[in-house]
Chain A
Amino acid sequence: MTSRPWLLSGPALTLFGVLLLVPLAMTFVLSFNSFDFYEGIIPTASFANYAEVLGDGYFWEIFGRTFAIAAATTAICALIGVPQALILYRLSPAWRSLVVLIVIGPLLISVVVRTLGWAILLGNRGVINTALMDWGLIERPFRMMYTSGGIVLALVHVFVPFMVLAVWAALQRKDPATEAAAESLGASSFTIFRRIVLPQAMPGILSGSLIVFSMAASAFATPAILGGRRVKVVATTVYDEFLNTLNWPLGAAIAMLLLISVMAVMLAWNRLVERRFGEGLQ
């Protein structure tokens, strides 16, 4: 009997192992190899790649930018997503299903397609700049393509549904009578929101932030299209190392560093949350 759980979860574990752990382990091993322009990948075991990345201000800048973009995306997603989820929570059931569809609808369209749409809007000769110049509001195009701001804008658009759904799920778990209880105890609507509704939505905001942050930090398509070679983030740098420079070991080392740093941020965040909100939640 004791072997049953293993048997039952076997297929999933195998899939998980083959598709995730094996490539990850191979990348990990690769990151310790070295690369020579003439001989290609040499199976050594050294920290040279890590030393190169960590010793180079160029890479520090890329990591810094990546995390800044991810943090900004997360913050804006929270600012937009939380009110959206609250509105969703208060809608009547009929309207709610329609609005849920509108919220998650964008997820049904490829990220690449949506990002190309943003490129059309944001370009120097894009829809926005052309319109503003036609109306005479600006003289020269306002640069939005190939900026971190443009990337954040598009990432927010991509990831906001995840925040909305996470917060909405948390709101649905709460007892609607808590608001009535607070009201009967004399709380104003603003106090009810601040002291009763928001804290109960907090687990959703926090988990939504984790999802958005990790996905934004490792996003590839959007920064690749809107940032190009000029505004590099870690994911696009790894791509360049693999496919242009062909320095796979260095690319692998950068990828591992991204993984480690994202995990470190997530763990620290979790710790902070647990200490701050403790056993009251979950």
Chain B
Amino acid sequence: MAFLTLDGLTKRYGEVTAVDSLSCSVEKGEFVSLLGPSGCGKTTTLQMIAGFEQPSAGHIRLGGRDLAAIPARERGLGIVFQSYALFLHMTVRENVAFGLEMRKVAKKELKARVERALELVHLGALADRYPRAMSGGQRQRVALARALVIEPELLLLDEPLSNLDAKLREEMQLELRRIQREAGVTTLMVTHDQSEALAMSDRVVVMDGGQLQQVDSPFNVYETPRCSFVSTFLGKSNNFAAMLESRDATGSVLACNGVTLRGPVAHLRPGPAEIAIRPERIRLAAPGEGLLRGTVQERVFLGAQWMLAIDTPLGGFLVARPNSGAQEVEIGAEVGLDWSPADMRILPAGEAA
């Protein structure tokens, strides 16, 4: 049985259903991200696991025991809050020691464990500073050390990196993952940043509107999204409504806005569907060749790649092209769009245009 199991977890605030029968599980030692747009119920889920909110329905099991009857104080979870919630009137060392004091750990052991936790987050030199005199990244690590020092069974992180600037955030992603591996602690991290979730997690739980959309490895949620929402929320995607006309063991045929396209093996029944193609899977060809003809509408340089907006009979396409050092096609140019059927995804009909 999995280490942490959420079973039909539901939270209602009056009319609002913040979390809607969420079921998933986390294995011991795993790093799992809870990913979703703002307001989809991520924090609420974390708060229920932490014990600060009571579920309206459903169960949370940790290491075999049901957490319902256990108050937050006795769950022994390590929590890093979005605001870090450091005790500003205490030094870094006192902050980290707090949880051990509450556990009545003997003085000598306490000192050693605090020291070890501070070393783990590379803050040994700043132990006697007050949090106010520290940078955002340092505070974040204090919060992490404070949560880890009690050697929790489960570490809960609520958007731990959202207060940091882009560069520091990338550094801290690696740092956080290193610390998590070294401590070997099962971790559930909330984030609304898809690249963060992809970069850090063993598995990603994608949520929308309080409901679970997909649970999978970062590679799989990106490569084989199960629905329209997941395909567009993680990375960029060109989605169009289509009609699945026929399918067999070698592939499928779809009609999309009057254009007939070949697709991969489909698991859906013939009927309304949606196709999704990643911008980086589309090749440009000479006009008239390839699958579609289009006109370049917009061209944005992103450093490592170009992003092109191309108008086609299907609608607007986004196409990503690696920056090879040569001049990119000009705005207004006629091009052909091509991709292999295997790069197309066929999803249940969604709300895409």
Chain A interface (Cβ < 8 Å from any Cβ of B): 174-175, 177-178, 180-188, 191, 195-196, 199-200, 202, 277-281
Contacts and interface: CB of A to CB of B under 8 A. Distances in A.
Contacts of B146: 181, 185
Contacts of B83: 175, 177
A184 B50 contact: yes
Contact of B87 (A184, A188, A196): A196
Contacts of A200: 88-89
B350 to A, nearest CB: 37
A180 B76 contact: no
Nearest to B102: A186
A202 B130 CA distance: 16
A183 B72 contact: yes
A178 B73 CA distance: 13
Contacts of A186: 73-74, 76, 99, 102-103, 150
A188 to B, nearest CB: 7
Which of A184, A196, A199, A279 gathers most chain B CB within 10 Å?
Answer: A184
Interface string B43-59: 00000001110000000
Contacts of B85: 175, 177-178, 180-181
A181 B75 CA distance: 12
Contacts of A191: 102
18 contacts: A178-B85, A178-B87, A180-B79, A180-B81, A181-B85, A181-B86, A181-B146, A182-B98, A183-B52, A183-B72, A184-B50, A184-B72, A184-B77, A184-B78, A185-B150, A186-B74, A200-B88, A279-B132
Contacts of A175: 83, 85
Contacts of B132: 279-280
Contact of A280 (B50, B51, B102, B130): B130
Nearest to B103: A186
Given A180-B52, A180-B81, A185 B86 contact: no
Contact of B79 (A181, A187, A277, A279): A181
A199 B86 CA distance: 13
Contacts of B130: 278-280
Given A177-B81, A185-B99, A191-B102, A280 B76 contact: no
A177 to B, nearest CB: 4
A279 B130 CA distance: 7
Given A180-B50, A185-B146, A187-B102, 5 more contacts: A180-B52, A181-B85, A186-B99, A191-B102, A280-B89
A280 B79 CA distance: 23
B103 A280 contact: no
B67 interface: no
A195 B87 CA distance: 9
B126 interface: no
A48 B90 CA distance: 51
A182 B79 CA distance: 10
A182 B102 CA distance: 9
A277 B89 contact: yes
B314 to A, nearest CB: 48
B109 to A, nearest CB: 16
A196 B98 CA distance: 10
Contacts of A279: 130, 132-133
Given A184-B50, A185-B102, A185-B146, A281 B89 contact: yes
B21 to A, nearest CB: 25
A202 B81 contact: no
A195 B88 CA distance: 11
Contacts of A277: 89
Nearest to A181: B85
Contacts of B99: 185-186
Q: Which 7 A-B pairs have the closest CB atoms?
A: A185-B99, A177-B85, A186-B102, A181-B85, A280-B89, A199-B89, A177-B81
A177 B132 CA distance: 16
A281 B130 CA distance: 9
Given A177-B81, A180-B85, A182-B98, A187 B90 contact: no
B216 to A, nearest CB: 29
